[in-house]
Amino acid sequence: MELLCPAGNLASLKTALNAGADAVYLGLKDDTNARSFAGLNFTPKKLQQAAQYTQSLGKKIFLTINTFPKPGEEQRWYDAIDLAANTGVNALIMADLSLLDYAHSRYPHLPLHLSVQASATNLGALNLYKKEFNIERAVLPRVLSMKQVRDLSKVSPVDLEVFAFGSLCIMAEGRCHLSSYVTGQSPNTGGSCSPAQHVRWQEVGASRQTRLNNVLIDESSVDEQMGYPVVCKGRYTTAENAKPSHILESPTSLNTLSLLPELAKANVVSLKIEGRQRSPAYVEQVTKVWRQAIDTYLNDPQAYQCQSQWDAALAKVSEGQTTTLGAYERAWQ
Amino acid sequence: MAIIMENTLNASLGPLLYCWSKAKVTEFYQQVADSDIPLVYVGETVCSRRREIKFSDYMAIAQQLRESGKQVVLSTLALIEAPSEFTELSKHIDNGEFTIEANDMGAVSVAKSLELPFVCGPSINNYNLATLNKLASWGMQRFVMPVELSKHWLGHILSDSTKRQFEAEVFGHGYLPLAHSARCFTARQLGRQKDACKIACIDHAKGLLAQTQENQPLLRINGIQTQSAQAIDLRNEFHKMQAMGVSYFRVSPSSLDSIELAQQLITEKSLNSKDERDLSCDGYWHGQPGFNNTLAG
């Protein structure tokens, strides 16, 4: 079972590998990936260094090219694929049909992973991508219950990777327009959800407001912990409930430490840690805990128990300092 | 002298995104049958738990509409998770009579393997011509533009000489489907579990409006689907779409009034009134945040 960790820059990459990651994933410094934030990601030269460092340790590096090319600008995405092939990364993580087609036809030996942004949640979708583009692995959207992951794994034509820890996307990924509805930019089109230039915090008397393109996402007292303003984690009113509440989801992170044995038994090949936009300190903390948990499990699967100090360490770096099993747990749905 | 073929833009009626009682759905499609709308999409696209209208009922509605002279397409679910849902989907696609609208790549996969033609709904990620051409080579006859894309984007696609043969449809009027989740937000609002939802959606004929703490209408909760609070209204762009080569202007129904609205588009090519403009949005079409309203004021 692979531990796959995020690398927003070279410092995070080295931290992750030294803390026990088996593989890292990263993106280029442009809008070819869905974490296109200022100050993050890799130039071609840095990608080369990252690949050399990672592979010299016998570990793997995956390049994320998971946004969708715009008409007339496709070349930027094709160039990214060519660069990845020439650099010798271990796999590409992609969602767009035309890019999968391009990579598969030009570089048939370069392994392809289907990005979560492709939103493949069922056997039909997996069969199609396997048959047409020979994908090796698919990253499952965070909408399936544990039972559904198990059922799909039994029949899947490709290896499965799941999100194990990090910010919780509650919508079927790759098909969520909430960010672009408010800001004009979505992960698919602009390379990020809730782009930072639209975010504004302001204190008004004893309360703090968070706004996204001027829309009030949340308002609370100044001492209350508030998450990064994404539309799905705001507090709103409805005709059923005049008191503002988190009608979609509250600021919280996904944490599946307690599901580790079940994920292993379901033959999930890779556990993904979310957070390319987070600091090296976050990457180190989360990687260490997960390394320890996976090793503990593999050492004696029967005796595995999620330890409270692991959960406590992860809660500290979690959004809203709380965690959830998300859709893996049927009751959450 | 070259003969210039004038493109004909027509109105279509999208699938009903809400959960209505059987009596209400029957009445609705009776009126659709009596209208001049040439293309109608029917079927459940949001939630497999909604069983008021069974697949056999939808087939009967589709047959009734076809007998009224309409082209009918069977729309399928946007989010397919359980194996039982996939089995059911395969059955719907292999119905033997009607083209389907795929709203998930799983549906594309099944249609392709059965060598059946299909339409791509708005939740298939079609973001460039190479992808559209690939889907056309697999049997796609028409696609509905993803709702977050613009007229500028569509102009690029439709004017490209390498475009294969397929039609374009624009989501022109109605509440925009923005996202789908495993979680049922309507059941959650009512304090119910999804597995014991008692079909919570049925009491919300146009979804459940959510407003910010400053009373700005923002979202519309429709079971596992999240929609825009404002209806998109692109009726003023009808002639422009026609000139661009768009084939269908989709009206996404939210009440019997939607039928009237589509009918008016066909007979009068009417523009929207000032009052309606103030309550709508058109940002995506103009390359702006979706909720923007370029005609307000």
Q: How far apart are CA A247 and CA A244, in angstroms?
A: 8
Q: Are residues A78 and A107 in the same domain?
A: yes
Predicted confidence (pLDDT) at residue B190 exceeds the cutoff of 60: yes
Interface test with B, best of A177, A188, A246, A325 (most B CBs within 10 A): A177
CA distance B37 to chain A (A): 29
The CATH number for B35's domain is: 3.20.20.70
DSSP chain B: -PPPPPP--EEEEPPP-S---HHHHHHHHHHHHTS---EEEES--S-TT--SS-HHHHHHHHHHHHHTT-EEEEE--S---SHHHHHHHHHHHT-SS-EEEE-SHHHHHHHHHTT--EEE-TTS---SHHHHHHHHHTTEEEEEPPTT--HHHHHHHHH-TT--S-EEEEEEEEEEEEEEBSS-HHHHHTT--GGG--SGGGG-BTBEEEE-TT--EEEEEETTEEEEEEEEE-GGGHHHHHHHT--EEEE--SSTHHHHHHHHHHHH-PPPPHHHHHTEE-TGGGTS-TT--TT--
Q: Are residues A96 and A191 in the same domain?
A: no
Q: Are residues A57 and A204 in the same domain?
A: no
**pLDDT for residue A271:** 98
Phi-psi region of B69 (alpha: psi -120 to 50; beta: other; left: phi over 0): left
Residue ranges making up the domain that contains B253? 10-286
For B153-163, what is the mean pLDDT? 97
CB atoms within 10 A of CB A116: 26
Tokens at B50, concatenated = 């909604």
Within a domain: A80: yes
Within a domain: A184: yes
Using pLDDT thresholds of 50, 70 and 90, give the confidence band for residue B272.
Answer: low
Find out whether B280 and B230 touch, Cβ atoms under 8 Å.
yes
Tokens at B96, concatenated = 């033997």
Q: Are residues A280 and A320 in the same domain?
A: yes
Tokens 């049927």 locate to A330
Which of the residues in chain A have pLDDT under 70? Answer: none
Interface subset of B 127-146, CB within 8 angstroms of A: 127-131, 134-135, 146
Q: Hey, are the CB atoms on B179 and A176 less than 8 Å from each other?
A: yes
Question: What value of ipTM does the predicted structure carry?
Answer: 0.95
Within a domain: A295: yes
- Comparing CB atoms, the residue among A188, A239, A327 nearest residue B127 is A188
What is the radius of gyration, based on Cα positions, of chain A? 20
Within a domain: B17: yes
Q: Are residues A54 and A113 in the same domain?
A: yes
Q: Hey, are the CB atoms on B212 and A96 less than 8 Å from each other?
A: no
Using pLDDT thresholds of 50, 70 and 90, give the confidence band for residue B270.
Answer: low
**pLDDT for residue A192:** 85
| B251 vs B52 pLDDT, higher one | B251
Write down which residue in A212, A245, A278 finishes a domain: A245
**pLDDT for residue B274:** 65
Write down which residue in A203, A225, A245 finishes a domain: A245
Q: Are residues A85 and A202 in the same domain?
A: no
- B294 in reach of chain A (CB within 8 A): no
Question: DSSP label at A20?
Answer: T
The CATH number for A52's domain is: 3.20.20.70
Chain A residues with CB under 8 Å of B287 CB are: 184
Q: Are residues A238 and A110 in the same domain?
A: no
The total number of structural domains in chain B stands at 1
Q: What is the pLDDT of residues A167-194, one digit of tens each?
A: 889 999 999 999 999 999 998 887 789 9
| Residues in contact with A82: Cβ distance below 8 Å, sequence separation at least 6, in sequence order | A106
| Residues in contact with B296: Cβ distance below 8 Å, sequence separation at least 6, in sequence order | B277, B278
Within a domain: A173: no
Q: Are residues A187 and A162 in the same domain?
A: no
The total number of structural domains in chain A stands at 2
Predicted confidence (pLDDT) at residue B1 exceeds the cutoff of 60: no
Q: Are residues A157 and A196 in the same domain?
A: no
- Comparing CB atoms, the residue among B83, B107, B183 nearest residue A170 is B183
- B123 in reach of chain A (CB within 8 A): yes
- Comparing CB atoms, the residue among A74, A175, A183 nearest residue B125 is A175
Q: Are residues A296 and A231 in the same domain?
A: no
Q: What is the mean pLDDT of chain A?
A: 94
Q: What is the pLDDT of residues B248-263, one digit of tens each?
A: 999 999 999 999 999 9
- Comparing CB atoms, the residue among B78, B90, B221 nearest residue A247 is B221
**pLDDT for residue A190:** 74
Q: What is the pLDDT of residues B81-135, one digit of tens each?
A: 999 999 999 999 999 999 999 999 999 999 999 999 999 999 999 999 999 999 9
Tokens at A303, concatenated = 């005796």
Q: Are residues A58 and A192 in the same domain?
A: no
Q: What is the pLDDT of residues B196-252, one digit of tens each?
A: 899 999 999 999 999 999 999 999 999 999 999 999 999 999 999 999 999 999 999
Nearest chain A residue to B179 by CA distance is A176
Q: Hey, are the CB atoms on B125 and A127 less than 8 Å from each other?
A: no
Buried b (16+ CB within 10 A) or exposed e, B266-290: eeeeeebeeeebeebbbbbbbebbb
Interface subset of B 5-64, CB within 8 angstroms of A: none
Nearest chain A residue to B214 by CA distance is A216
Q: How far apart are CA A37 and CA A29, in angstroms?
A: 8
- Comparing CB atoms, the residue among A180, A238, A331 nearest residue B193 is A331
Residue ranges making up the domain that contains A322? 2-168+252-332
Chain A residues with CB under 8 Å of B291 CB are: 181-182
Nearest chain B residue to A73 by CA distance is B128
Chain B residues with CB under 8 Å of A215 CB are: 212, 216, 218
**pLDDT for residue A214:** 96
Strand, helix or coil for residue A60 = strand
Q: Are residues A231 and A262 in the same domain?
A: no
- Comparing CB atoms, the residue among A71, A216, A249 nearest residue B157 is A71
Q: Hey, are the CB atoms on B189 and A240 less than 8 Å from each other?
A: yes
Predicted confidence (pLDDT) at residue B4 exceeds the cutoff of 90: no
Nearest chain B residue to A118 by CA distance is B125
Within a domain: B295: no
Write down which residue in A245, A277, A302 finishes a domain: A245
Q: Hey, are the CB atoms on A182 and B176 less than 8 Å from each other?
A: no
Q: How far apart are CA A102 and CA A78, in angstroms?
A: 8
Nearest chain B residue to A219 by CA distance is B213
For B48-77, what is the mean pLDDT? 96
CB-hemisphere CA count at 13 Å for A168?
Answer: 29
CA distance B257 to chain A (A): 23
